[in-house]
C-alpha cells in the first residue's frame, strides 16, 4: 500500500517528497489564506538591508518576495528543500521576477551542505524539519551569533476547540510526514535559542516562535 499521509512520530523525507510532488503545481493557491501568518513571521525576523537569510523548506519560494522587500538587492536568500517539484516552482518564480541573490539547495535540512554563516533563518510551515534535531543543528551551525530565527506553522489548538483541532488534523495529514510534536512544534528549536517568544495568532491552531542564536 502506498502511504501518502503523515501519521508517523518521526519525519520521513521520502514521504514528504511524495506529498509535495502532487501539490507543487497548485501549492501557491492552497496557501493564499495563510499569507498573514507568513507576513507576521517574516516581520519578526527583523531583517536588515543586505542580510543573508536561510529559508528552510522554502518550497515554491512564497517567502522570497517578502524577504526580498526587506533585504533588498544586496541581500541573499538560501532556500533549502528536498522536493524537486517544489524547487522547480521556486525557480520559475525567480525567473519570472528576474531575481538575483537566491540560491537553492535541493536537500533535506538535515543533509544540506551549507557554507558560511547567515544573519537569519526562517522555518515557515516546516513541521518535519522542526522535529529533526540534526536538521536544526545543521541550520543553526550556519548562523551568526545573535542571528534571528523564526518558525511558524500548525499546532494543536486548545483541547476544547474541536473545529480548530479538526482543521489542524486535516491540514497536518495533508502537509507533514510526522504528527509528533504538534503540541509544541517549536520546542526543539527554541531549546537551542535565546530571547525566545512564542505567540499563537488568530484563534489558535497556528504559532509564531522567534529567538536568537
208 belongs to the binding site for ligand SAM (CB under 6 A): no
Q: Is the dihedral of CA 58, 61, 64, 67 positive or negative?
A: negative
Q: How many residues bind ligand SAM (CB under 6 A)?
A: 26
Single out the residue of 47, 109, 120, 151 in contact with ligand SAM (rule: CB under 6 A): 109
Strands (E), the chain: 52-56, 76-81, 102-106, 118-124, 143-154, 194-199, 206-212
Crossing angle of helices 64-71/35-43, nearest 10°?
30
Which of 110, 142 has the CB closer to ligand SAM? 110
Choices 46-54, 125-133, 154-162, 191-199 (CB under 6 A): range interacting with ligand SAM? 125-133
79 belongs to the binding site for ligand SAM (CB under 6 A): no
DSSP per residue over 25-43, as a string? GGHHHHTGGGHHHHHHHHH
Q: Mapping DSSP to helix (H, G, I), strand (E, B) and coil, where does residue 140 land?
A: helix
16 belongs to the binding site for ligand SAM (CB under 6 A): yes
108 belongs to the binding site for ligand SAM (CB under 6 A): yes
List, in order, residues 6 or more apart from 102 with CB less than 8 Å away: 61, 64, 76, 77, 78, 79, 94
Print the binding letters for residues 29-48 with ligand SAM: x by CB under 6 A, - otherwise.
--x-----------------
77 belongs to the binding site for ligand SAM (CB under 6 A): no
User: Rule CB under 6 A: which residues touch ligand SAM?
Assistant: 11, 13, 16, 20, 31, 56-59, 62-63, 80-83, 86, 108-110, 124-126, 128-129, 135, 175
Amino acid at each position: 500500500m502506498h502511504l501518502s499521509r503523515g501519521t508517523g512520530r518521526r519525519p520521513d523525507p521520502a514521504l514528504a517528497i511524495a506529498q509535495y510532488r502532487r501539490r507543487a503545481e497548485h501549492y501557491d493557491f492552497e496557501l493564499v489564506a495563510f499569507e498573514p501568518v507568513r507576513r507576521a513571521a517574516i516581520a519578526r525576523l527583523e531583517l536588515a538591508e543586505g542580510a543573508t537569510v536561510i529559508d528552510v523548506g522554502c518550497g515554491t519560494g512564497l517567502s522570497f518576495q517578502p524577504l526580498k522587500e526587506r533585504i533588498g538587492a544586496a541581500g541573499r536568500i538560501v532556500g533549502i528543500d528536498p522536493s524537486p517539484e517544489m524547487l522547480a516552482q521556486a525557480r520559475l518564480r525567480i525567473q519570472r521576477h528576474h531575481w538575483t541573490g537566491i540560491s537553492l539547495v535541493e536537500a533535506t535540512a538535515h543533509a544540506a551542505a551549507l557554507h558560511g554563516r547567515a544573519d537569519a533563518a526562517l522555518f515557515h510551515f516546516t513541521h518535519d524539519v522542526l522535529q529533526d534535531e540534526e536538521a536544526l543543528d545543521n541550520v543553526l551551525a550556519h548562523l551568526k551569533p545573535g542571528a534571528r530565527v523564526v518558525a511558524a506553522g500548525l499546532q494543536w489548538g486548545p483541547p476544547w476547540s474541536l473545529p480548530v483541532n479538526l482543521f489542524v488534523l486535516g491540514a497536518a495529514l495533508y502537509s507533514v510526514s510526522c504528527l509528533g510534536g504538534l503540541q509544541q512544534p517549536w520546542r526543539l528549536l527554541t531549546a537551542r535559542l535565546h530571547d525566545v517568544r512564542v505567540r499563537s495568532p488568530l484563534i489558535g491552531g497556528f504559532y509564531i516562535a522567534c529567538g536568537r542564536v
